[in-house]
Amino acid sequence: MSDRPDLGRGPTLRDVALRSGVAVSTASRALTRPGRVGAQTEARVRAVAEELGYVPSASARALTSGRTRTVALVVPDTANPLFFGMVRGVQSRLRDAGFVHVLADTEESVEREEQVMAELRGSVDGVVLAAPRADEASVTAWAEEFPVVTVNRDVPGPRVLIDTAGGVVHALQHLASLGHRRVAYAGGPRRSWSDRQRREALIAAAGGLDVELVVTGPYVPRREGGPAAADATLLHGCSAVIAFNDLLAFGILDRFAERGTTVPDEVSVVGCDDIFGTDLVRPGLTTVAVPVERAGAAAADLLLRRLAAGARGGARVVELPTHLVVRGSTGSVPR
């Protein structure tokens, strides 16, 4: 039935103008600037647009305005439930502001990250860059070239930082108060800023708490990394382990169950992030709750502000606190 070759995506403003008997400029105004045009002209144009099923071309708009009203969210691993909360946070804010968002996965690879950032520069107004793995120099360079807000990476420019360092210290205090004197930290990716923060904070805090901290790893921050971390914990004679993240902690719990090592009676386990599933396991996982959705929303806000203000948005920093969620996986030291 349709005589157009399908890919010519619908009627254009010109069609609407023609059919309304007005000029394209008038049609444009009627649709985008209510009030700047004769009342009945506007009504007619709107009616025709509706009738024709007119949808403005985002590309053409972007071309004239210089802005695409699109921002990208770049994460290291879309399979990690941690980032889904972030996606939601970013999305909700963006949607309210009339923006679209694209999602990019860098697969924990620095090369992919650089490639993705380069491509994005030509197609979006800005980027929320979560837990970047690239050099500080690269990240800084990107941020100078176009609007970038980082999450969980302390580089110059607007950024959202989550104080998981403080959170894991609370976890360590919690363990110390339960009598643990030898605690393992099962580390995550070496390129992860978060990992370094957590590790260093734990090392610094251990002395004052009269706790010996044993750093193990790095482990892949997924469930598959857990078994090795569990075994290393026992090998080093630790009575508790703090895992880089919850996925790793799940794997640790798997391995302990498999070995017949009971949690928390024989060993305590603490995770980090409080992702989906922490209250599904038995015992429930004690973990450092990270407000990812808020972080995503905050990052989106920062980016939107930056876009509205041009380069003069300043380099605002939002710091979000964490809190320890105590469930069943931690208990008194075995004796």
List of residues contacting a second copy (CB under 8 A): 2, 5-10, 53, 55-60, 62-63, 66-68, 70, 78-79, 81, 84, 87-88, 91, 95, 100-105, 118-119, 121-123, 144-146, 250, 276-277, 280-282, 310-311
Determine phi and psi for 182, rounding to 5 degrees.
-140, 110
Among positions 111-170, residues that touch DNA (CB under 7 A) are 122
Contact 187, 219 (CB under 8 A): yes
Neighbours of 260 (CB within 10 A): 7
How far, in Å, CA of 176 to CA of 51, rounded? 70
Q: Which CB sits closer to DNA, 37 or 134?
A: 37
Q: Which of residues 49-108 bind DNA (CB under 7 A)?
A: 54, 56-57, 60-61, 63-66
Least distance in Å: CB of 169 to a second copy? 27
Q: Which option in a second copy, DNA, none does residue 118 bind, with CB closer than 5 to 8 A by kind?
A: a second copy
User: What is d(CA 175, CA 332) in angstroms, rounded to the nearest whole number?
Assistant: 8
- Distances 47 to 31, 144, 209, 330 between C-alpha atoms, Å: 10, 45, 72, 65
Helix (H) or strand (E) holding 13, with range, is: helix 13-20
Tokens of 328: 């069943």
- The item of DNA, a second copy, none sharing an interface with residue 25, based on CB under 5 to 8 Å by kind, is DNA
- Pick between residue 36 and residue 95 the one whose CB is nearest to DNA: 36
Contacting DNA (CB under 7 A), which of 12, 91, 192, 329?
12
How far, CA to CA in Å, does 209 sit from each of 154, 167, 198? 27, 15, 16
Q: Is 43 in the site for DNA (CB under 7 A)?
A: no
x-or-dash pattern for DNA, window 195-214, by CB under 7 A? Answer: --------------------
Number of residues that bind DNA (CB under 7 A): 29
Cα–Cα distance for residue pair 270/286, rounded to 1 Å? 5
- Largest distance between two CA atoms of the chain: 89
> Least distance (Å) from DNA to the CB of residue 77?
31
Distance of alpha carbon 177 from alpha carbon 211, whole angstroms: 10
Closer residue to DNA (CB): 41 or 173? 41
Q: Does 13 bind DNA (CB under 7 A)?
A: yes
For residue 160, the SS3 value is: strand
For the CB of residue 317, give the shortest distance to a second copy in the complex, in Å.
20
Helix axes 292-309, 81-96, angle to 10 degrees: 40
Enumerate binding residues for DNA (CB under 7 A). 8, 12-14, 21-26, 28-29, 31-32, 36-38, 41-42, 54, 56-57, 60-61, 63-66, 122
